[in-house]
Structure 1
Amino acid sequence: MTDRDSPLVKLSEDRMNSVELAQALVRFDSLNPPGREKDCAGYIADLLRDAGLAVTAYEFAPERPSIVARLSGTEALKPLVFTGHIDVVPLGEKPWSAPPFAAEIREGKLIGRGASDMKAGVAAFIVAAVEAAKKGRLKRGITLVITAGEETGCEGAFHLAREGALGGAELLIVAEPTSNLPIIAHKGSIRLRITATGKTAHSSMPELGENAVYKVASWVGLIEALKFPEHEHPLLGRTTASVTTIFGGQNINSVPDSAGFTVDFRTVPAHDHQVLIADIQERLGAEASIQLVTDFKGFATAPDEPAIEPLMDILAARLGAPAVPAGAPYFTDASALVPGFNNVPTVVIGPGEAAQCHQTDEFCYVERIDEAFHIYTQLIDRICR
């Protein structure tokens, strides 16, 4: 690696290049776990400070900072907000065809862990914000929210919301991988651990015991039967339930006195999670002990929301036809940031390929990175100037 290619070298061109910055970010090993975001976050913070943005770091755990960077506007208007995470998932067992942190470009693809998910998107909006700062003062300010710990439960984003670090927002752009097409809704997730107790006995005399596994088996069947016809969204479909782990018993010749399972509900935004838990408790009965493991809200922006019209106009002009907004079954940092920004209108749109997330030889098309930069730049020009 040459000095010019090192991620520790500041990019000093007259016009910063979004692809080069994406390469620089991919070269940081920010694997989560264990959570190595510090160096990448520090590099970004220095770059943004040099460009004139006010930068504050917030650690949700030691040496695991998220960044909030602000470029102020001249008028008392809520800012345009961009967000993305810099942690990446482990490499997996399958060998890579290229070093995963070398950020090689081959056949029009930037290859590396985090290329699509989602350092290319982060690079594109950073460059757009830096270029906007060079052009002079804006009427409406810009805020960049760059998070750690997204891959393990949006830890950095939830921390920022709890700390009151976010402020207001006119529109939130989440630069997760969508091939630069708009997603205006995604599901939430609520994960439960459900356990049963019984009475142990020798398996040759089962009538003396109370088998906890049998209870759990019947409950799993009740969960499988759930279809949620009353909880449906036009872009997201219905709430779904998936039993994901099951456990019980200690040895083969004893009636088990404890057993349980976990279930991941992927919910439409209008499905209240506390109501869902109460419904599950009623269906399974008082013997079921229900523990909440994680709770992530979904979001939905109305297709006719005025705040997203400038972006949809920009996309229509680029595509030559109206952009068709979609929904996504997964969740993002929007689960924490949408309520943290007081239910701000939100669009998920970024240059990465959703199918590349967490894959060996993960890549992002180079042309999409530059395209995202231009989309974000046009959006800034439309609503901030």
Structure 2
Amino acid sequence: MKRILRLTQELIKINSENPPGRERKIAKFCYDFLKNYGYKPRILEFAPQRSNLLCSCKSENSLRTILLSPHLDTVPAGENWNIPPFSAKILNNRIYGRGASDCKGNLAVGLEALAQLKEEKRKFRNLDIVFLATADEEAGSSLGFKPILNSLPRLDFGLILDGSEFKIIYAQKGLLHLRINILGKKAHGAYPERGENAIILSFNIYSQIRDLIKRLNKKDKKAQFTLNIGKIEGGEKVNMVADKCFMELDLRFRENESKEKLLNIFKKTIEKFTKAYSLKVLAYQPPVRAQRNNFWINCLKDTLLGENIKPHFEVSRGATILNFLLERGVEGVVFGFSTSQQAHATDEYIAIPNLYKGVRVLKNFLIKIDNILDNE
């Protein structure tokens, strides 16, 4: 089982930051790994260097098909790491590095489980496995999961390997990313009253929206809106009143909130301060909810209990690719073995025991399904 440690380390050492997006090297590594164990993987690209890995494993009867899908890319490492982000250093029973938890630990578990199934000469009678490790997950999946999903044959269930601590993510909040451009009026910095400062307008608008979100959450404890200002930029010189400013906002919201309703709230708030603005939707994903009680989920729960892990269902605050799966009409959940609160963090790590246990859980889950299908 030490191979899972080496495998995780090798994956972390391969820089696959997105942006800029360069998954070809890590996809080739996974390709070579699977081919070495007798699989027939393929590499798919929708742009130069933006590689995805697809490996289909047919069973004797092909009664059902499951999709296993981690991703290859990571967010940028950034600065201020105490442990070099691509060193994959082992310390205190953890492996450190960018992507350790999001999502190279999960990727390593998937690869290791497939390798062990081959080594054990396990021949599946009923369950087809589609292993898909994708590019561009951190930037919307337009060069990975989205175009490939539409080309895949019948899928009965999807296990998105992008979760942590063996939690079953069955639903996720909606996502609305906005860019608000505010126009003001230029003036000399010594005479601010002669102009209209677009930066101050932007700050006041954000403060008003933030306070509104707080009131909504206080009024309805189940609402749990979250709002983040991720980028703001404006002005030309320190001695000039800024005549333009833009800010980019990230709103996460629950079910029963429509895109149109939320945009109207933003527009009404902005127009309390100015009519000189534009509002652009950068990204939108509706909230989604999958089934919590079906054949696949029950098998997963039984497998977890077999490892003395209590099944825990959760709603994701962040965006995943689960919505793309459900939109196609395929049931699925997000699941994984990473360490909680480590995704995108400085000095990111994954706990080594999670890797060992993750391989057992994933492998036993697949075997359990194949065995149960004998009775269908």
TM-score, normalization: structure 1?
0.80
Counterpart AA for 1:333: I
What is the CA deviation profile of residues 98-121 of structure 1, one whole-angstrom value per residue up to 9, with x for unaligned ones? Answer: x54443434432233322222121
Q: Distance in 2 between matches of 1:93 and 1:74?
A: 50
Does residue 97 of structure 2 align to residue 105 of structure 1? no
What is the CA deviation profile of residues 274-301 of structure 1, one whole-angstrom value per residue up to 9, with x for unaligned ones? Answer: 4422443344346441111223444322
Question: Which sections of structure 1, spanning at least 5 residues, go unmatched?
Answer: 1-14
Give the equivalent residue in structure 2 for 1:6: none
Give the equivalent residue in structure 2 for 1:311: 300
Q: Distance in 1 between matches of 2:247 and 2:232?
A: 4
Select which of 133, 148, 155 maps to 1:146.
Answer: 133
Counterpart AA for 2:109: A
Distance 1:202 1:323, change over 3 A: same
| Alpha-carbon contact 1:16-1:127 (below 8 Å) kept | no
What's the C-alpha RMSD, in Å, of the aligned pairs?
3.3
Q: Distance in 2 between matches of 1:261 and 1:71?
A: 47
Q: Percent identity?
A: 26
Select which of 88, 108, 122 maps to 2:107.
Answer: 122
Distance 1:17 1:298, change over 3 A: farther
| Alpha-carbon contact 1:154-1:336 (below 8 Å) kept | no
Q: Cα distance, 1:207 vs. partner? A: 7.2
Q: Distance in 1 between matches of 2:145 and 2:265?
A: 27
Q: Distance in 2 between matches of 1:380 and 1:270?
A: 35
Q: Distance in 2 between matches of 1:189 and 1:270?
A: 13
Aligned residues: 364
What is the CA deviation profile of residues 152-206 of structure 1, one whole-angstrom value per residue up to 9, with x for unaligned ones? Answer: 4434435535x72344432222222412232222323221011233444556777
What is the CA deviation profile of residues 32-78 of structure 1, one whole-angstrom value per residue up to 9, with x for unaligned ones? Answer: 33333212101212333444544332223211201222112344544
Distance 1:78 1:185, change over 3 A: same
| Alpha-carbon contact 1:160-1:166 (below 8 Å) kept | no
Counterpart AA for 1:303: R
Q: Match of 2:341, SS?
A: helix
Does residue 156 of structure 2 align to residue 170 of structure 1? yes
1:1-385 to 2 correspondences below 5 Å: 17-75=3-61, 77-97=63-83, 100-132=85-117, 134-161=121-148, 164-201=150-187, 212-213=198-199, 215-227=201-213, 228=216, 237-252=223-238, 254-285=240-271, 287-319=276-308, 322-339=310-327, 342-385=328-371
Give the equivalent residue in structure 1 for 2:374: none
Q: Match of 1:81, SS?
A: strand
Q: Distance in 1 between matches of 2:260 and 2:55?
A: 34
| Alpha-carbon contact 2:163-2:169 (below 8 Å) kept | no
| Alpha-carbon contact 1:129-1:142 (below 8 Å) kept | no
